[in-house]
Structure 1
């Protein structure tokens, strides 16, 4: 997994975004992991001395890697389906890349990346879900959502979990923090480990 490879190479997880000279978010974690998803050429074409939507970077918009969208997405598109959840106690505190030793909760129950279908986030845009404002109900556009019948998340240790609408907001909140000390119950319906996130039925 690209984020894990980035972490191994850099000693920490990628930051959710990096800032420009104006102290505003300029670059997304999705750009930072490009070398780890066999996109070195795209990474080298990207300019970090301008924002993600600057004159040069805008020309790269439709070169979105397929790994950043649902596998049966019709290209071209610029919208990603994989978002971080940014927040002080999540895996993505902001400009800081979290270290593995900071994760005190069970890594198999701590969410790293969430599916989203509805926010319309540009893949290069330094914008993701925000813990303080997102919807913790499963399968709403402002939260974990999908065009598959049950949306998925990736945990910090690499498992893919399929959630259902019966997954409670409390359980989702707990799974998004790194140090809450919660134990999250899994069962056959609400919190299921699946071997391949692509092998799921789409909504009608």
Structure 2
């Protein structure tokens, strides 16, 4: 084989290798996109279920749950997330919703629902119990803590639940966001691409990270949701949901 033929042979093999590398990279990118979409769909499904649970609670008690359940002395016992468990799924083990969230009697349910509120329970890391879903509390919100609020009193565009990346809060523990101190990173959501939100009408949207915190806040208060139109303000940032 001549020197020229050898060079041609090498270049052919290099071309074949490059083609396969390109195909492999494209496959990895495609699989990554599929995983991201599947994860996003799961997150939206979680909010769907929370929406139904909140609606059921509202139908039973004629009000939304408070962000934190209090004991007779006004001390917080547990989060609204813990109070939603009977409306999410039947749990046959011993549970006492009148006891503090970290009471030993409630230990089993802590593990049972951890994956629902966290999204995953990989390993034994303490963070596996940290919630990825929160309500927003404070003046003018549906969870202001000063008065009871019914779904019927809310504009459908009112945001009830938002995603958070690293809350540092056990899902059963009282602790949520404050309208007066929302982090700018909120709009980035869990994966940096955006966040999922649940509206008062039960619909769940994924909003890209190009949505501004200022626009998001307009729908976190009762008056704001009545004043603004989510289709006009948030609609351009909403990503289509998988069928």
Q: Which runs of 5+ in 1 are unaligned?
A: 200-204
- Aligned residue for 2:200? 156
The 8 Å contact of residues 138 and 180 in structure 2, kept in 1 or not, is answered as: yes
Using the alignment, how far apart are the partners of 2:56 and 2:235 within structure 1?
A: 30
What are the within-5 Å matches in structure 2 for residues 1-204 of structure 1?
1-41=52-92, 45-58=94-107, 60-64=109-113, 66-70=115-119, 74=122, 77-94=128-145, 96-103=147-154, 106-107=155-156, 109-136=157-184, 138-139=186-187, 145-147=189-191, 149-180=193-224, 181-184=226-229, 185-186=232-233, 189-190=236-237, 192=238, 194-195=240-241
The 8 Å contact of residues 142 and 222 in structure 2, kept in 1 or not, is answered as: yes
- Aligned residue for 1:202? none
SS at match of 1:118: coil
The answer to which of 12-21 and 47-56 deviates more is 47-56
Return the TM-score normalized by structure 2: 0.66
Give deviations 1:106-163, integer Å, cap 9, x for gaps. Answer: 31x21011111111221100111111222255435xxxx2126221101011111222
What is the alpha-carbon root mean square deviation over aligned residues? Answer: 2.6
Give deviations 1:53-83, integer Å, cap 9, x for gaps. Answer: 233334543222543232x553662122111
Using the alignment, how far apart are the partners of 1:56 and 1:170 within structure 2?
A: 42
Aligned residues: 186
The structure in which a higher percent of residues are helix is 2
**Is the radius of gyration larger for structure 1 or structure 2?**
2
The 8 Å contact of residues 26 and 52 in structure 1, kept in 2 or not, is answered as: yes
